Chain A
């Protein structure tokens, strides 16, 4: 009896907490329940990973994995929304774990206090349904691509440069055919750029709010992926430009 009442209270909280999402006809109760059983891995807890993890935790994603081996530095605080001044020097995944738990205690969080490496990537990625690339380098991005291709997982790409950002969803299973997938990152960029060819944010600079926009776009694609709302950025590459406030989408042919 006590157990049944507790369960009813939890369901009432569930409906109350997610009421604004559930009332969206494209999501509804069914979509919200799909989010509750979703398992999403976020690789990188920097400028992109912070808003992505916050929006997904708030949206009611059931299980979120966090991968990052870094500690918080003073220069991170300009754009990395999970961290506070007192967090400098502390483990990013540990701070993120505490913050996300306090946002949504029903969330299951799996924390990996390590960078994603060729040695650990298969064991980590296999635990999740979808991967979100919030990394800041090509080595990690190609690793995510290759592991996801090997394990037939979809992933959401996001990256920033100064006032611009790119977003796409790669390796999406098409029409329920277990052998047919949308394009992946290597189909579009077969070779990794040479070292130093593309400047990273610490060399080129980036506006904090632009990273937030791109992270919000990635989180939105992840929520669409599970709820099947609208059209995914599948076989498409979106570029956001904050200076012009434009979005430019290119169709990537299969």
Chain B
């Protein structure tokens, strides 16, 4: 399984067009963010957390094929 599953939350779906996509495997989270920005330029200026297999990732993390990533922006409304 040489893909990554990507779950998209909140208004980031406006930039990606879907709430779940499959993304070609890349080795780590830094390469993933770079590839994601290239595929979806609308994400470049967006604030969001990156989670891998439901754990927040703040530093570079090695990815495995089949990992599930989540893009979580802060919400504003109340």
Chain A residues with CB under 8 Å of chain B are 44, 46-49, 133-138, 158-162, 164-166, 188-189, 191, 193-194, 197-201, 204, 206, 211, 237, 239, 241, 248-253
User: From residue A15, how far is it (CB to closest CB) to chain B in Å?
Assistant: 35
Residue of B nearest to A138 (CB): B76
Residue of B nearest to A191 (CB): B47
A4 to B47, CA, bound (A): 60
Residues of A within 8 A of B55 (CB): 250-251, 253
- Given A204-B11, A239-B9, A248-B7, answer yes or no on A161-B75 (Cβ-Cβ < 8 Å): yes
A46 to B75, CA, bound (A): 15
User: From residue B43, how far is it (CB to closest CB) to chain A in Å?
Assistant: 11
Number of A-B pairs whose CB atoms are under 8 Å?
97
- Given A189-B49, A198-B11, answer yes or no on A161-B76 (Cβ-Cβ < 8 Å): yes
- Given A188-B56, A250-B51, A253-B55, answer yes or no on A136-B78 (Cβ-Cβ < 8 Å): yes
Residues of B within 8 A of A135 (CB): 78
- Given A194-B45, A250-B49, answer yes or no on A159-B74 (Cβ-Cβ < 8 Å): yes
Contact status B9-A159, CB under 8 Å:
no
A-B complex: 10 closest residue pairs judged by Cβ atoms: A201-B77, A159-B75, A136-B78, A161-B75, A250-B51, A160-B77, A193-B47, A198-B76, A48-B78, A252-B56
Residues of A within 8 A of B56 (CB): 188, 237, 250-253
User: From residue A18, how far is it (CB to closest CB) to chain B in Å?
Assistant: 28
User: From residue B60, how far is it (CB to closest CB) to chain A in Å?
Assistant: 14
Residue of B nearest to A250 (CB): B51
Cβ-neighbour of A188 out of B7, B49, B75, B77 (below 8 A): B49
